[in-house]
Amino acid sequence: MSQNKNNVNERTKDPHVCGLTCLGPLTFHPGAVGKKITLSHGNCRASRDLETFRDGLVFSSRPVKPEEKVRIQVERSLLAWEGGVRIGFTNECPTAGPLPPLAIPDLTEKPGYWALPVPQRDCPPGTTVTFWMDKNGVMWYKTPAESFCIQTDLDPSLPLWAIVDVYGQSTTVLLLGSVRRFNILIKASSCPIPCSTFKCGYEDTPPELKKRKAIAERKLKQHQEDQSNNNNTQRTGRRQENLCSVCLDREARLAPRCGHRCLCLPCANRVFQEFGTCPLCREDI
């Protein structure tokens, strides 16, 4: 992966000492990660393999409280894919073991999970996304472009773990920590993360991925052309079935006594006068 050279552990000796307004450390859960995810920077950075758009699930290392606002930054993106990062919460404690490929719908189809997609246009590299659950079970998220909220069926009185799905164009996400405001004067924050020198921006599409996508695009184009040709043939066949069997130009509107609707009006007069039989079955008119 092109971001590997930047994915070194940048943690240095941390002089931080937790105080009364410290919420404690908050990282990604090191034992519950998607199979295409690599954690670095003290388990605060989650990077997905560029060859796929999925298998990028990560969870918070500890439960977060209602009104505790979790902050992530989308650091890297890849234009070869579609969609943006997904975020959410769960009442289920993350455990080590195989995770499903996607937050939506693989997790959200199960009770105790809730996730939302952040629109692709609203999470380019460098974007900070803040999301939280309030005391009424309403999930909120905020980006520089928009704010959104929705009622969930999660129980905010139970432990809540944050979910991040490093999905689609979003390939690297940094967990910036969390903030919880108790009142207008008192605000608590999680332990600060190490300073990062990682450069936000777009990834170069790997050559093998370019090749696969080009093949897929050619197959899709061929399928669309085949469908179009098939539809045209069907329409042509229907038009030919409705044409006069004599001139093959005008619509057949008249049927002889045999019941075959095969003649336009001008040709019907001629057939009646000169031949006296159906042009299809030769039965007397």
Domain at 4-203, CATH homologous superfamily: SPRY domain (2.60.120.920)
CATH topology of domain 211-274: Herpes Virus-1 (3.30.40)
pLDDT value at 1 more than 50: no
**In which band, very low, low, confident or very high, does the pLDDT at 234 lie, cut at 50, 70 and 90?**
low
Q: What are phi and psi of 174, to 5 degrees?
A: -110, 130
Residue 3 and residue 172 in contact, taking contact as beta carbons nearer than 8 Å: yes
- State what percent of residues in the chain have pLDDT above 70: 88
| Average predicted confidence (pLDDT) for the chain | 86
Spans of all domains in the chain: 4-203, 211-274
Q: Is 115 helix (H, G, I), strand (E, B) or coil?
A: strand
So what's the pLDDT on residue 6?
44
Instruction: Look up residue 245 and give its amino acid.
Output: S
Q: For residue 285, with 0-12 CB atoms within 10 Å meaning exposed, 13-18 middle and 19 or more buried, which class applies?
A: middle
pTM of the shown model: 0.72
So what's the pLDDT on residue 245?
78
CA gap 203, 183 in Å, rounded: 41
DSSP letter (8 states) at residue 131: E
CA gap 142, 150 in Å, rounded: 12
**In which band, very low, low, confident or very high, does the pLDDT at 124 lie, cut at 50, 70 and 90?**
very high
**Span 175-209, pLDDT tens digits:** 999 999 888 888 999 999 888 888 999 999 988 88
Residue 107 and residue 115 in contact, taking contact as beta carbons nearer than 8 Å: yes
Read off the tokens for 219. 């197959």
pLDDT value at 166 more than 90: yes
**Span 47-60, pLDDT tens digits:** 999 999 999 999 99
**Span 69-119, pLDDT tens digits:** 999 999 999 999 999 999 999 999 998 788 999 999 999 999 999 999 999
Tokens 């329409």 belong to residue: 235
Mean of pLDDT values over 147-156: 95
How, if at all, do strands 201-202 and 69-77 pair? parallel
**In which band, very low, low, confident or very high, does the pLDDT at 240 lie, cut at 50, 70 and 90?**
low
**Span 241-276, pLDDT tens digits:** 678 877 777 888 878 777 788 888 888 777 776 667
DSSP letter (8 states) at residue 238: H
pLDDT value at 35 more than 90: yes
Read off the tokens for 153. 């069926």
How, if at all, do strands 86-90 and 45-48 pair? unpaired
